[in-house]
Structure 1
Amino acid sequence: MKPIKVGMLGLGTVGTGVVRIVEGHQEDLVRQIGTAVEISRILVNDVTKNRSISIPQERLTEKVEDILHDPDIDVIVEVMGGLEPTKGYVMEALAQGKHIVTANKDLLALYGTEIMAQAHEYKRDVMYEASVAGGIPIIRTLTEGFSSDRILKIMGIVNGTTNYILSAMSREGAAYADVLKEAQGLGYAEADPTSDVEGLDAARKMTILSRLGFHVNVELSDVSVKGISSVTREDIAYGKTLGYEVKLLGIAERTGDGVSVSVEPTMVRLNHPLASVSGVFNAVYVFGESVGETMFYGPGAGELPTATSIVADLVTVAKNLRLDVNGSQLPLRYQEKKLRSPEQIVSKYFLLLRVADRAGVLARITQIFADYKVSLESVFQHPNASTSHAEIIVITHNATKAGMQQVLEEFGKLDVVHEIRSVYRVEG
């Protein structure tokens, strides 16, 4: 059988890893597929640039048409990232009869439905395992491993940069700004870290996971997003004292009322498996109606972990080619989207308040909780001898998001509440 010919769009860190694995694992690939996999053309910005791997210059091109319109190329691996012109290239590739393997979470989060519809029309495969959690095979797990179950909840640490920052703040007692600078120096955070630290990257990944897990057409705009830039070392220290770690979690839930998806810093109970995920590692916790609790853990980024997922998708496409079943995957049949309202979203909460240090303040605060039917699991008060305020830490029992919003509005009206310092969801 003739080799499977691959065209690549991009040759950055991940693209380089794909080349290394494909060329270094040919014997294994032939055994799995029954034929060789050949990367025949690669789109780059500059064919003369020095690179960390040796690639014959005739395999490089600066013209995307050399790949999209080459009738011998079977599969296109898209690792250039971004939305435009990438989306146009992918749609044109499908129209030209190419199968697609991509790691582009932005593209899938915003245009996944449109791309999958075109793939179905042209009977082509679109694989995107590497778009979420790097080397963790979570996409395949949701679509195949849980095909006989009903997923009720997905919680993910799906951004390595923020997990590194929060882990270092917890371990070293350091301030956010100092650890961010350290992460940038190590290459874990970009010069402009906004997408990571403000939760936007995680939100895109949770959009993809929610669609697959719940069969509902969740849009990026449906995700409630809060980043970690306001997390302090005091928050983390108080959390640890009470038995919690702070993690940036993507949380997707499905109930009879509908679905909700959020990304937010969360107090995670130390005995929950997500609490022990540290550094740049990722983990996705999935709760199924039948199977119960499962968790998937591993590297969330990097040249070879991400490239491994891409090559696994390449193997799937190649096997489909041999069996002549490409494009046989059904398009996602979305159920009606019902988003849960703040009155329907329920969780525990951690609050840190700075209040006047005088008699009767705690009673006024607890009365407001009672007025809005928010019951309390624990309350701690810490006087501060150097100031006129005290710090009150509250952990609630399950309360609605709407109820907590009302409580916080009432606190804002109290002259004895100097500052609502922190509010976190509690899990585990």
Structure 2
Amino acid sequence: MKIGNKARLAAMTAAALASVALPAHAADHHETYQIPDPVPGGFASWGELMTVQNMLDARADAITAAAKADPAGDHLGNITVSAPAHRIDVYWKGTMPSTVTALLTGLPVGNTVQVHDAPYTRTELQQATDRFTTQTPAADGTRIVSITPSEHADGLTIGITGNTTTARRMETILGSTITTTITTDKAAAPITIDWNRDHDISSYFGGGWWYIHENGFGEKACTTAFAVTHTNPIDHITRNEMLTAEHCKMEGSSGEYVTDMRNGQDGVNTAFRDGASVVHDWARYEPSNSHTNFSNAIFRGPVGSKTASPTKGSYGTYQGNYICTGGAMTGEHCMLKVNAVNAVNVTKWFDENKVWRGDLADASPENNTSAVAAGKGDSGGPAFGPLSGSNADGVIAKGILSYGSYQVTCGYTKYDNGTWPEQTTCYNHVGFIPITTVLEETGDTLITG
């Protein structure tokens, strides 16, 4: 299910942004917050865990880039990262070029890169995935709802609702040359909510409420993710803009709608949509007046918190990574482990018109099938890696929350001036689009500090 968004935006020059001090913000960087969850992987602290993970992720990023740049073609199948094991596992098909083998050594003592033969490249798996997304539902209602590459790049897992025997007879599955495993699955659901209040003020942080409005379509509330700088190709002006989820709009709307940032003065802080991707489920919003700006920080901690952390940078997302989520509806959840990358999910069905989201990562609480990863209203919020157990040390951007699956019981509700007016739906799994995918697609720069 989708998770959340709020605003309408449009323009200040780069020079003005550089010379004008940002307005005071409700969130106080000096307030402290400590992650209450136990540190996974046997590490003594969150800082120790993230130091190792970020070091391994940086090397995995370099291997990924070298694979893409290989003149003979990208033969990378998958990469997994395990901070507890101090290890990167690279699944590769065929002969590895020297530009990649040069990156297999040189890590700090105790950390290793292991290479495994892969039956398929990630390109081959993606091409097969694209074919499966064209499959229409069977007469008995059986349909494909998710497609996930295996960890070892040796096939795809096809999640279906309905009858597995019927699924095996589907044209795309019968004709596939890729090894497939069919499982019954629960369709992913967008994590949005139709109404709530926003208590953030400009300069807006990630992890706060958005309210998106379009005349004739009503309103929808989601969560902000990360601020970026974007250079408009028409007027060539660079502006601070905010990322959230594409699906955070009323069904049937054009997407080019007016939105309101509600903090007690309807319409004072507004923004407009400046770009989006349906497949990758991101949208970018541009300030429309001098009252609106976006900051290099995200909210931290529980629902209603005023605590924030600066965004310090970004890394790629790999299976085995530990992350946190920070939606406005359910607050912060850590100890989430990435189960899959490059996955696709169908999030909605309207008269058999499916909406596929692609290149997603999926994460869930490690060894806990009843804990919450995200809830309805968290869509568009940040997925991140904390640099330590304290908010003061900042975060590494990892992605934008897209969907939830595997519903679990929870008591989370929207925090509104000390009251809790309505309950939400929560999920044990959360899907997100990696921030590196978004930045590569847009050419935008993450605002850090």
TM-score interval (norm. to shorter) = under 0.3
Which structure: greater strand fraction? 2
Which one has more relative contact order, counting CA pairs under 8 Å at least 6 apart? 2
TM-score by length of 2: 0.26
